[in-house]
Amino acid sequence: MAAIVTDQFRILNASNFVDSVTDTSNSYFVFVGLSNPKATGYGKASTWDTATPSPVDNFDYQGFVGDNMSFGKKVTSANVRRLARKINWARGTKYEMYRHDYSLTNLSPITGSSRLYDANYYVINSEFKVYICINNGASGISTTGNASLNEPTFTDLEPTKAGDGSDGYTWKYLFTVSPSDIIKFDSTEYISLPNNWDSTTDVQITSVRNNGDSDINENQIKQVYIDNRGQGYSTGSWELNILGDGSGGKVVVDVNSSGNITNAVVSAGGKGYSFGAIDLGPIRPVGVGTANAKLIPIIPPSKGHGNDIYSELGADKVLVYARFDDSTRDFPIDTKFGQIGIVKNPTTIGTASSVFTAPQFSSLGAFKFLSVSGETTTVPAIGSKITQATSEGTAQGYVSSYDRETKVLKYTQDRTLFLNPTTYDSTDHAGISTAGNVLPFETDAPGGITINNILSSDGFTGTIDRNYTGINTNPSGSKLISLGLEFTNGIASPEINKGTGDIIYIDNRPEITRNSRQKEDVKIILEF
C-alpha cells in the first residue's frame, strides 16, 4: 500500500511535545548521570571516551539509566523552543523562492529538493531577523533566479524589496529572534522560533500574524510565477482574475509587442486559496504562431505568509535547554557524568504516584559523616566502590560525589554491583546468595547491632553521623551550607523514586568531569 507520513504530522508532533512540556500537570526534567562510565560492568566500557557506546532502547537499559541518574533540572516553557534550519543570508548567494508545489517531479531549482523544507527559501540576517523569499527573479526562462545582493533589514508587514531592489528579490519579514533566545537557543544549525505564535499578545508578532491572515485582510497570495510566457497574447498591461477555490485574487500581467507575458504582479491577494489558475481568457491568443502561457499562483501556507510560522518554516524539531549551575549542592561540583537525558513525570520519594514538581531533583543517596579516615585530595575517588556490613548482608554502592568541607558522600546503586561480576548479567555465580540482592545502607539497626562504617575500595572510611538530621550544616561555625538533601540520622534518600517516570531521551557522551568554576549549558535537539 502506498502511504506517507506527512511533514505536517511531524510538525504537529513537535507542537504537541511543546504543549506537553508547558502543561502544568506534567514535569519534564533534563538529567545527567552515570558517574563512572569507564568502569567495568553492565552498560559501561573502558573505551567509553574513544568509542562511546550507543544507548539501547529497551526497558532493561532504561532501568540502568535510572540506577545511575544523578541530578535533574526541570524544563519549563521558557526553556523549550521549536526549531527551523538556519539559512544565513550572504551576499552573492542564490536563494530559492517559496513554492507550495516542490516534489519529485518539480525539484527546487538550486538545491534540487523534492520537499519545500529542504529548499533554501528563507534566511536569517545579521540582525537575527527572519525573512521568506517571495521572489528571487526566477521564471521559466531563468529558473534559478538571481544572486541576492541586498541584505533585507526592514520590518515592513508587506513583502518588500531590499536595498535598491536591483537584485530582483522580494522578501517577507516574519520575526526577530529575541536576545534572550539567542543566548539560550542559538546554534550553528538552527533558528529558534517564538513560542505561542498563535496566541501571544506581543505587538510585533501579532501584527505579522494578523497581516498574514487572509480572513482578516484578504491579501493571501503574494506571487505568481511565470512558468511559460506563451505567445500571441494581447499587448499591454492587464488586470486578470485569480481563479480557484478562493476569491478576490487579481494579478496584473504585462505583455510585450511579441505577445509574450513578461511580468506578473499580484494586485489583490484574495483569501481562501488552496489552488489557483490565472484567467487569461480576456487576452487569450488566437491564430497562427500562438502558444499557451502557464502562470502559477504561489499558494502560501495556512491562510497567508506569517500566519503560522511553524508550518511555514517546517518546525519539526524542538530544542530543550537546561543550565546546571546549582548552588544548593544538589548537583555536586566534583562529580562526573557520561549520560544526559530527559525524563517525564518521575514520582516523589515516599509516595506511590505523586509527580515530582520542584525545580530540580537529586536522585542520589547520601551519608553525612561524623568522622573520616584515609581521606586525601583524590580519595574517595568518584566511581569507587563503597560497602557497609549491615544486619542483612553487605550493602554496596558507587561514589558519585564527596564534599570534604561538609563530609557528605553521595552514591548510586546500579545493577553492575549485583550481577555476575564476570559477565555482568544474570548468569549464576558463586556468592550470589549474599551479593545478588540490593540492600540499603543502614543508619540504625535492630536489636542494638552496631552500625558499621562505610568503606571505600580505595581505603576511605567514614563513620555516619547518626545524630545529624536536617538539610543545612555549619562545619566551620561561620557559614551555613545547604546540602540539597534532607538527612535523617545521618543518611539521605534520593528525592525521586528510582525507576519512575518515562525516559524519553538518552545521550551517551564522553565522560565529563566537573569542577567548582564549571557550569553546563545542555541543549538537546529532538527531531520528530
Express each pLDDT in 30-47 by its tens digit: 999 999 999 988 999 999
**Are 358 and 371 within one domain?**
no
359 and 370 part of one domain? no
201 within a domain of the structure (yes/no): yes
Decide: helix, strand or coil at residue 344: strand
pLDDT per position as a tens digit, 63-113 = 999 999 999 999 999 999 999 999 999 999 999 999 999 999 999 999 999
pLDDT at 327 over 70: no
Q: Are 173 and 153 in contact (CB under 8 A)?
A: no
Torsion of CA 263, 267, 273, 278, to 10 degrees: -40
In this structure, are 507 and 489 located in the same domain? no
Residue 218 lies in a domain: no
For the entire predicted model, the pTM comes to: 0.90
Could you tell me if residue 111 is inside a domain? yes
- My answer on whether 427 and 478 are in the same domain is yes
Task: Report yes or no: 417 and 383 within 8 Å, Cβ to Cβ.
Answer: no
Residues 483-516: tens digit of each pLDDT: 889 999 999 999 999 989 999 999 999 999 988 7
Domain stop point among 255, 279, 314: 314
Q: What is the DSSP letter of 283?
A: G
Asked if the structure places residue 256 within a domain, the reply is yes
* 294 shares its domain with 309: no
- Tell me: do 101 and 122 sit in the same domain: yes
What pLDDT was estimated at residue 328? 66
Query: Where a domain ends, among 267, 298, 329?
Result: 298
Q: Categorize the per-residue pLDDT at 482 as very low, low, confident or very high, splitting at 50, 70 and 90.
A: confident
Taking residues 254-281, report their average pLDDT: 95
Cell of 170: 522580494
User: What is the number of domains present in the chain?
Assistant: 4
What is the residue range of 397's domain? 364-493
**What cell was used for 106?**
518539480
Mean pLDDT over each residue of the chain, to the nearest integer: 93
Structural domain includes residue 77: yes
Contacts 24+ apart (CB under 8 A), 436-441: 437/392, 437/393, 438/413, 439/390, 439/392, 439/393, 439/394, 439/395, 439/396, 440/390, 440/395, 441/365, 441/367, 441/388, 441/390, 441/395, 441/397, 441/491
52 and 138 housed in the same domain: no
Q: Are 501 and 69 in contact (CB under 8 A)?
A: no
On whether both 164 and 309 belong to a single domain, the answer is yes
Shared-domain flag, residues 368 and 487: yes
Range of weakest confidence among 240-244, 315-319, 423-427: 423-427
pLDDT recorded at residue 333: 86
Residue 317: name the closest of 52, 73, 61, 526 by CA.
Answer: 526
Q: Is 415 helix (H, G, I), strand (E, B) or coil?
A: helix
User: Which string of b and e fits 75-101 if b means at least 16 CB within 10 Å?
Assistant: beeebbbbbbbebebeeeebbbbbbee
Assess whether 477 and 385 both reside in one domain: yes
pLDDT at 448 over 60: no
Q: 217 lies in a domain?
A: no
CB atoms within 10 A of CB 524: 17
Alpha-carbon distance 205 to 524, whole Å? 26
Q: Quick check: is 426 in a domain?
A: yes
Does 448 share its domain with 396? yes
Q: Is residue 102 part of a domain?
A: yes
Residue 21, pLDDT above cutoff 90: yes
| 376 and 255 co-located in one domain | no
Q: What is the mean pLDDT of residues 453-466?
A: 95
